[in-house]
A and B are shown apart, each in its own frame.
Chain A
Amino acid sequence: MIKDNFADEIKDLEFLDFAVSFGRPPVPFTGEWVNKENLLKELRRNYIKQSAPYHVLSKAYEANYGNALLLQDIGKDTEEMIPTWVVVPSEDAMGCSPSAFVDKMKAAGVRAIRLFPSSTGNPAKATRYAFTKWFYGDYFAEFERREIPLTVEFSPNRRDEPDWPKLYGVAKEFPKLQIVLADGFQRTAWTLIKLLKECPNLYVQTSGLDVHRELEYMVEKVGPQRFIAGSKFPVSTIGTMVGQVLFSNLTFEQKKLIAGDNARRIMHLTMKKGEN
């Protein structure tokens, strides 16, 4: 049974919220948006040790512009906030080759990439960039070579599904590219299990798993190493992510991997203990 005061339990799990953003969007979801300071405040209020934010304008305006703002706003808070950049599949847009782009990432301490590829189910909110080898391939090859994890967010409608054949294709064509599937996977447990078994380089962000005890069920089928905690704050509350992991019927070791250690592993972050 959950206890009255579970702050210590949350701290012990050393959460790293892999799916947060800040910045003023054109349409704030239910009226709310946060700047970096408010994001940090909310993360700390929920006892979250670290996060991997991206800037809203990297998606909503221009990747390079948002990426630069992200670094500027994070400033010296790099221990708690590990920057995530957004990329669009064009050297013209990014202003350099994929290789030079990753050089810049490494120099800036950026550990992960987020993509917003096209979605046939929700074209009004998605890009026109196809999630395929022939479109994004030169970037995928570089991320694979340099061990940069890639999060894919399809901006789905409520009952939309991701483009399973494209996901499967990219995962097979780049077998060492670590791909984290973000939104759009609600109510697809059996599809995901088959996909995860077929493609060992795929991971699932927890915010997509939201039917009854789904995280527990899937861990039983494919192991805890395949799940990355992410809240989608400020769309969802950070408590959604914490509750899902903390209150699940899993061991402490399994929860800790999902809460943050899996994300740290794929981002090659040194794991420090007892600093929360």
Chain B
Amino acid sequence: MKQYRVIDSHAHMGPIWNFYLPFNNEYQMLENMDRLGVDTVVFSSNMAISGDPVLGNKYTLEVCRRHPGRFLGQYMVNPNYPELFDEEVPKYFAQKEIVGFKVHPELSGDYPLNGKNYEKMFRYASEHHIPILSHTYFGGDRLNVFEELAKEYPDANLIIGHGAMDLGTGHCIELCNKYPNLYYDLCSPVNKRYGALRMVDRELNPDKAIYGTDGPWNDPAVSLGSVILSGIDPLKLKKWFSGNFLGLYTRAAAVLK
């Protein structure tokens, strides 16, 4: 019997250029998901983030189609190719397997999240209720940028990747509690750090935390062990592991019902 439905909402797939990721293909990740009891992984491919965004997003969709319900996709917006947005985004979001946007300002040449080439994404996300997961942590934008965007686009749900651990965990929690459209990504290293996990448990609105692992960049077994053995109330963990995700990602909830 499984106690929790586990949805890993922050993951990637495939090789990366500067270090080795063992067992990084869809079948090897699936094998690991089965062993760990992870129901669904929501990912943006490494090709989309640090290679060719057109090939990468295509690969993301193909994988999701090969494994219905086990993988869902995030469309990676590379702001260095603004012409792709109008060309590709409506087509991708016509596919039920693509459930959110992913942005990685740091690996997109430190392009600012409040820059011109992300504006269309924020408008589209607002209009179509599509969550945006943005990377933070040793790169990318400061928390004041997230706050400005939360105010400017109140209908766009923005997930602060990695809980902005290097920018002040407490401040990030305050923002997520204050703004209805800001969410807290529990992804590594937050879910591995004793103090951060305790602070999130103590201070964050329990409906605002979304579980993720950053696999295969990180080991999902490490994150899962840390959260499951944290001693945090199982009812709260149910929200973290999947309840909050399904409330936020309505497109995913429709696919996974």
Interface of A with B (CB < 8 Å)? 1-4, 28-32, 45-46, 158-159, 187-190, 209-217, 233-244, 246-249
Question: How far, in whole Å, are A211 and B24 apart by their CA atoms in the complex?
Answer: 10
Q: State the CA gap A215–B22 with chains docked (Å).
A: 10
A interface SS class: loop
**Nearest-neighbor residue (CB-CB) of A5 within chain B:** B3
Asked if A212 contacts B220 (CB within 8 A), the reply is: yes
18 extra interface residue pairs, beta carbon distance < 8 Å, beyond A211-B218, A216-B23: A2-B224, A30-B199, A31-B199, A159-B138, A212-B24, A212-B220, A213-B22, A213-B219, A217-B23, A234-B195, A237-B229, A238-B229, A239-B230, A240-B225, A243-B222, A243-B223, A243-B224, A244-B219
Which residues of B lie under 8 Å from residue A247 when comparing CB positions?
A: 35-36, 221, 224-225
For A241, what are the chain B residues with a Cβ–Cβ distance below 8 Å? 225
CB A250 to nearest CB in B, in angstroms, measures 11
Tell me whether B19 and A239 are in contact (CB under 8 A). Answer: no
23 CB contacts below 8 A, A to B, read A3-B1, A4-B1, A4-B2, A29-B193, A30-B196, A31-B199, A209-B219, A212-B24, A212-B217, A213-B22, A213-B221, A214-B219, A235-B193, A236-B193, A236-B194, A237-B193, A237-B194, A238-B229, A240-B222, A241-B225, A243-B223, A243-B224, A244-B222
A212 adjacent to B231 (CB under 8 Å): no
B22:A243 contact, CB within 8 angstroms: no
- CB of B226 within 8 Å of the partner chain: yes
5 closest residue pairs by CB, A with B: A243-B225, A30-B195, A212-B216, A239-B229, A32-B195
B-side interface residues, number (CB < 8 Å): 46
A30-B194, A237-B194, A238-B229 in contact; A212/B218 too (CB < 8 A)?
A: yes
Complex interface: chain B residues within 8 A of A243 (CB): 221-226, 228-229
Task: Give the residue name and chain of the B residue nearest to A46 (CB).
Answer: B229
Residues of A within 8 A of B218 (CB): 210-212
B80 interface hit (Cβ, 8 Å): no
Within 8 A of A (CB), among B199-218: 199, 215-218
B23 contacts across to A, CB distance below 8 A: 212-213, 216-217
**Does the CB pair B226–A236 fall under 8 Å?**
yes
The reply to whether the CB of B96 lies closer than 8 angstroms to some CB of chain A is: no
| Interface residue ranges, B against A (CB under 8 Å) | 1-3, 19-24, 28-29, 31-32, 34-37, 138, 165, 169, 188, 192-199, 215-231
B195 contact set on A, CB distance < 8 A = 28-32, 234-235
* Residues from chain A with Cβ under 8 Å of B19 in the complex: 187-189, 211
Q: How far is the CB of A249 from chain B (nearest CB, A)?
A: 6
Smallest beta-carbon distance A3→chain B, Å: 8
B221: chain A residues at CB < 8 Å are 213, 243-244, 246-248
Among A209, A211, A217, A242, residue most surrounded by chain B Cβ atoms (within 10 Å): A211
Given A210-B218, A212-B215, A244-B221: A4 touches B3 (CB 8 Å cut-off) = yes
B contact residues around A217 at 8 Å (CB): 22-23
Query: Closest B-chain residue to A242, C-beta based?
Result: B225
Q: How far is the CB of A96 from chain B (nearest CB, A)?
A: 36
Contacts of A2 in B (CB 8 A): 35-37, 224, 228
Residues of B within 8 A of A31 (CB): 195, 199
Contact B192 A236 (CB under 8 A): yes
Q: Find the A residue at minimum CB distance from B22.
A: A217
Shortest CB-to-CB span from A248 to chain B, Å, is 6
